[in-house]
Structure 1
Amino acid sequence: MKNLGQSRDVFYVSDGTAITCETLGHVVLGQFSVTAREKTFPFVESDHKVDELIREINQSYERNGVKPLVFFSIVVPHIRTKLLASCAHCYDVLESVVAQVKGDLNMEPKPQLQRSHSVAKDSDKYFDRIAAIEYTLAHDDGVSLKNIDQADIILLGVSRSGKTPTSLYMAMQFGLRVVNYPFIDDDIKRLRLLPEFEIHRHKLFGLTIDPERLTEIRENRLAGSDYASTEQCLQELASVESLFRREAIPYINTSSLSVEEISTRVLERAGLKRRLF
């Protein structure tokens, strides 16, 4: 978040994982010039946990003189009541949506602790996702091309163009099996696809990046090396983008995109369906 306005302590609180609260909180706060000092409190489902949380909230108020912001999703009524009585601005991330759906469906909701994705309930989906993560890790950064026929998508690009975080995000969030392969000097000199990729052309997708951004990233990893030099980055990117165009491989520039945005655009352009968990 941009440091252009006020700063504020922000708490994400849930009786589940708190991922939904974090996601919606980030989207909302992204609309304001606020620097957030964030803390996440998952599985707040007992008096002991909510009392500890309220102490932290009240200490924040006493320390800073302003109420912290709390994005929460709590089902247990008395725990919810306790939280709402704290020295904070509290926002129920589901309340308004649930109320509207209730009216549209003319049906009473049945609140429950956020354990809807437990292993016992969704065991097949859970283990499918674990298998996708294991497959993606085993095929990270060109380590192995074994069982490449099982891949849902194959990401190609120069080193440090965002392939690994994108691969892992798609595996963890959508249960996709992803191979990612970095073009190295030998590949760039040959400027052709590996034979293993030829029969899987429909799965290929390229990632590229601005040379200035690539140089910056590589400098942080190996400062002063040829690998991080502007000339090397320019040469690699020009060669690989030429390959993408020649072989009609779709590709996107990742320079200003988050891993969520990269993944979504890759899935959309590749025509892959999300597998939600």
Structure 2
Amino acid sequence: MQIDIQSRDVFYVSDGTAITCETLGHVVLGQFSFKANEKTFPFVESEDKLADLLKEIGISYRLNGVKPLVFFSIVIPELRQLLLNAPAHCYDVLESIVQKVGDDIHMEPEPKLQRSRSVGKDSDTYFDRIAAIEYTLAHDDGITLKGLEQADIILLGVSRSGKTPTSLYMAMQFGLRVVNYPFIEEDIKRLRLLPEFEIHRHKLFGLTIDPERLTEIRENRLAGSEYASTEQCLSELASVEALFRREAIPYINTSSLSVEEISTRILEKSGLRRRLL
């Protein structure tokens, strides 16, 4: 029997970061029209941590009268079984794929705690990811333009066009070092690239957005300000897009795209390779 429900509690659970569970869960839930009330439980490696999760699941079931959805990745058998016994619909995000691969290559999988952190034998990849995140944070929102030679990509765009979340996503998910720079009033009046960017043209990538969406976002931050006015947004976007076209800087419109989609399109258009899984 199909239950007509407008919203549902969803839990992402892992003995690692839970990023894989969240990513797959978002893709799956995007196929359905209900609102997902999401909570993430990373690093569930002990019964104490699992107990906190089971308590939340129990509360959700009692309050809503329907089982919540749980996307999980846990390899410790005892913890896994306790979770499967909870009043929830549980989906192991790796089980079917791992088993299928094992069947196809005629090998038994050897589950390992938080294996997704270090695929292969190169343990340095985890620290490469951390270094990429630190670099990206240090170069967020034009804080500094030093060390551009280390950047994998430089994102340009008006304020609130999606540069910061995209930069951090690319650093965390792909291990890329990302600089993001917001065009300020002086840049727009000058309508030309900063000298620091000239020698790094091959790394430049632009983000733009629909004027209506930009106005909405800015209104939520500074309601009634000139910064959020429709006229200001229209003027900034027109100037910056003209710069992108004149300087042959590739760019995309972020208005209807998730940060995952933005990042993937940037990788596709720029030819960058994902460093990390």
Q: Give the TM-score of the pair, scaled to structure 2.
A: 0.89
**Contact 2:218–2:227, Cα closer than 8 Å, also in 1:** yes
Q: Does 55-64 or 216-225 show the bigger shift?
A: 55-64
Q: Percent identity, aligned pairs only?
A: 82
Aligned ranges for residues 39-58 of structure 1 at < 5 Å?
Answer: 39-58=39-58
Q: Does 64-73 or 213-222 show the bigger shift?
A: 64-73
**Contact 1:209–1:254, Cα closer than 8 Å, also in 2:** yes
2:82 matched residue in structure 1: 82
Question: Relative to structure 1, is the Cα distance of residues 30 and 154 closer, same or farther in structure 2, using a 3 angstrom cutoff?
Answer: same
Q: Distance in 2 between matches of 1:130 and 1:46?
A: 25
Amino acid aligned to 1:100 = K
Q: Residue 54 of structure 1: CA displacement?
A: 3.0
1:238-270, CA deviations, whole angstroms, 9 ceiling, x for partnerless residues?
111111111111111111111111111111111
1:173 matched residue in structure 2: 173
Q: Distance in 1 between matches of 2:44 and 2:144?
A: 42
Q: Residue 133 of structure 1: CA displacement?
A: 2.2
Amino acid aligned to 1:73 = S
Q: Distance in 2 between matches of 1:18 and 1:79?
A: 16
Question: Relative to structure 1, is the Cα distance of residues 230 and 203 closer, same or farther in structure 2, using a 3 angstrom cutoff?
Answer: same
Amino acid aligned to 2:232 = Q
Q: Distance in 1 between matches of 2:48 and 2:142?
A: 48
1:110 matched residue in structure 2: 110
2:187 matched residue in structure 1: 187
Q: Does 264-273 or 194-203 show the bigger shift?
A: 194-203
Superposed structure 1 runs of 4+ greater than 4 Å apart: none
Amino acid aligned to 2:48 = H
Amino acid aligned to 1:230 = T
Q: Does 61-70 or 236-245 show the bigger shift?
A: 61-70
Please, which runs of 5 or more residues in structure 1 have no aligned partner? Answer: none
1:80-121, CA deviations, whole angstroms, 9 ceiling, x for partnerless residues?
222222222222222211221121111111122224426xx7
Aligned ranges for residues 1-277 of structure 1 at < 5 Å?
Answer: 5-117=5-117, 123-277=123-277
Amino acid aligned to 2:134 = E
**Contact 2:149–2:200, Cα closer than 8 Å, also in 1:** yes
Amino acid aligned to 1:79 = L
1:135-166, CA deviations, whole angstroms, 9 ceiling, x for partnerless residues?
22222222222122222111111111111221
Q: Distance in 1 between matches of 2:178 and 2:52?
A: 41
**Contact 1:5–1:33, Cα closer than 8 Å, also in 2:** no
Q: Residue 128 of structure 1: CA displacement?
A: 2.4
Q: Residue 16 of structure 1: CA displacement?
A: 2.5
Q: Distance in 2 between matches of 1:145 and 1:44?
A: 39
Amino acid aligned to 1:154 = I
**Contact 1:58–1:87, Cα closer than 8 Å, also in 2:** yes
Amino acid aligned to 1:221 = R
Amino acid aligned to 1:264 = T
Q: Distance in 2 between matches of 1:214 and 1:204?
A: 22
Q: Does 248-257 or 40-49 show the bigger shift?
A: 40-49
Amino acid aligned to 1:226 = E
Q: Residue 124 of structure 1: CA displacement?
A: 2.5
SS in 2 for 1:207: strand
Please, which runs of 5 or more residues in structure 2 have no aligned partner? Answer: none
1:42-97, CA deviations, whole angstroms, 9 ceiling, x for partnerless residues?
33333333344334323332332222222222222233222222222222222211
Amino acid aligned to 2:100 = Q
> What RMSD, in angstroms, separates the aligned Cα atoms of the two structures?
2.1
Q: Give the TM-score of the pair, scaled to structure 1.
A: 0.89
